[in-house]
Amino acid sequence: MKRIGFIAMSGVRAHNEELTKLGLTLPGFVERNKQIASLPSLGLLTLAGLTPRDRFEVEYHEIADLRKLPELPVDFDLVAISTFTAQFYEACDVADHYRRRGVPVVMGGITVSALPEQTRQHDVSVVLGEGEPLWPEVLRDLERGALKPIYASSTPGRFDLAHAPMPRFDLLDPEQYNRITVQTSRGCPHRCEFCASSILLTTRYKVKPVEKVIAEIREIKKIWPRPFIEFADDNSFVHRAHYKSLLRELAKENLRWFTETDVRVAEDDELLGLMRDAGCQQVLIGLESPRRTSLAGIELKRDWKARQQDYYREAIAKIQSYGITVNGCFIVGLDPDTPEVFDEVLHFVRDSGLYEVQVTFSTAFPGTPYYERLKREHRIIRDKAWELCTLFDINIRPQNMSVAELQAGFLKLVKQLYSDDETSQRRREFRRRLKQSTNFRKPAPLGTELLAA
């Protein structure tokens, strides 16, 4: 029996000192990042689910702090590591720790797929792209003591989610997680220049069959009877008919959940009603900018987001009228952004009635067309400084303001947006509008279905 340690890097920390200090006094500001950092690595749990139990023993660990590394077991026959971009170098330190002890290491995920050469320098095997179709080969090679340096599919991005395994949620310590992730789809039809997830793992949008999603949720409920689910999708609801079927089934599960989507959901009242009835609490939408000029050109193909800009306020109001809060995400430092953009974001947030807001720096992630373009234009502040890819550190030189102006404008904006007054005003406004809405229906109390069963 071979032993495999699945190790996820967690706990991304910004390096920007002023923002770190602010985070302590403006908790709302770092909330979403904290939530992401505390989610388990669904990718590793999925690979664990593909690992035959009769041939392998598996363990799942997370490392937020490298000082804890010596506490982890070393008696593994293989260690599989996944990481956020900002912790790439720490993940490499973990790999070095195991390689020095003679333990083979395999690394994968979006960042590693974007940086195969750099990763290979740590004497590890690299899995490129989607892990599921390649993992059985890794296991076979492990058993015969002949791991390859690189695992790559001959048909990248073609994994059919109908064959997705049940993730090993049972490997998680139930006390440590209050949000559990489930993937219902992979990919996104938009091709934002700065987005790695829509290009590095899959070439097309694909969905997981309804019965598989429901089976995962039921598996989660065996461990967490009243879970809060976060759908680990790039963009849910793209295939409307499929999602309507899924939502009808989800409604029977008595859940609360969150997902990421785009403003198109607001066009479809039936969909919004089904989302409400299925327990959707919040949707996160990458609005990116209140400025049409800043939205122009952010996608590689169409200017879809720029064309939606006039519709943003109406879409937010419609979605929220169903009792589903919108977390609107804005990026500052986009090429057309001038120092006026900070006030424009503030005013948009105020008069759109957004319940929640997230503002981040425009960040060049490895493997993206954005990184390549800015590198050609000599606008990457420090090449390969992946630790700055936290979204709260600046790794690019903006085009129409200085780095100092970007930093100062951002600080001023987040202080305003996340002040107690501003936050309570957003909450109050949401509730005021909801009272007047005929689309809202109070959800059934959580757990009633379980009690009745």
| By CB under 6 A, residue 109 contacts ligand SF4 | no
For ligand SF4, the closer CB: 192 or 278: 192
For ligand SF4, the closer CB: 236 or 325: 236
Alpha helices (H) in 78-121, listed in sequence order: 88-100, 110-114, 116-120
CB of 193 to ligand SF4, least distance (A): 9
**Range in contact with ligand SF4 (rule: CB under 6 A) among 45-53, 193-201, 264-272, 414-422:** 193-201
Q: What are the residues facing 57 on neighbouring strands?
A: 3
**Range in contact with ligand SF4 (rule: CB under 6 A) among 55-63, 125-133, 190-198, 429-437:** 190-198
Q: How far apart are the first and last CA of the chain?
A: 40
Site for ligand SF4 in 26-65 (CB under 6 A): none
d(CA 349, CA 357): 7
**Range in contact with ligand SF4 (rule: CB under 6 A) among 37-45, 140-148, 172-180, 195-203:** 195-203
For ligand SF4, the closer CB: 195 or 341: 195
The per-residue b/e assignment along 271-284, b for 16 or more CB within 10 angstroms, e otherwise, is bbebbbbbbbbbbb
CB of 198 to ligand SF4, least distance (A): 4
Local structure of 46: helix, strand or coil:
helix
CB of 285 to ligand SF4, least distance (A): 9
Site for ligand SF4 in 249-268 (CB under 6 A): 262
Residue 41, CB half-sphere, CA atoms under 13 Å: how many?
Answer: 25
CB of 422 to ligand SF4, least distance (A): 26
2, 77 Cβ separation under 8 angstroms: yes
Q: Which of 198, 282, 321, 423 binds ligand SF4 (CB under 6 A)?
A: 198
d(CA 200, CA 239): 21
Compute how many residues bind ligand SF4; rule: CB under 6 A: 11
For ligand SF4, the closer CB: 370 or 410: 370
Q: Which two tokens stand for residue 405?
A: 């102006």
d(CA 442, CA 205): 33
Per-residue contact string for residues 222-251; x = within reach of ligand SF4 by CB under 6 A:
------------xx----------------
In sequence order, the 6+-apart residues with CB closer than 8 A to the CB of 439 are 269, 272, 273, 276, 321, 322, 323
**Range in contact with ligand SF4 (rule: CB under 6 A) among 125-133, 184-192, 239-247, 267-275:** 184-192
Q: Which of 13, 97, 120, 191 binds ligand SF4 (CB under 6 A)?
A: 191
Radius of gyration of the chain (CA): 22
**Range in contact with ligand SF4 (rule: CB under 6 A) among 90-98, 171-179, 188-196, 240-248:** 188-196
Q: Which of 61, 122, 168, 190 binds ligand SF4 (CB under 6 A)?
A: 190
- Three state DSSP letters for 268-313: CHHHHHHHHHCCEEEEEEEEECCCHHHHCCCECCCCHHHHHHHHHH
User: With left for phi above 0 and alpha for psi between -120 and 50, is residue 325 left, alpha or beta?
Assistant: beta
| By CB under 6 A, residue 286 contacts ligand SF4 | yes
Alpha helices (H) in 224-268, listed in sequence order: 240-250
For ligand SF4, the closer CB: 164 or 192: 192
Q: Which of 63, 127, 192, 316 binds ligand SF4 (CB under 6 A)?
A: 192
What is the contact surface with ligand SF4 in residues (CB under 6 A)? 188, 190-192, 195, 197-198, 234-235, 262, 286
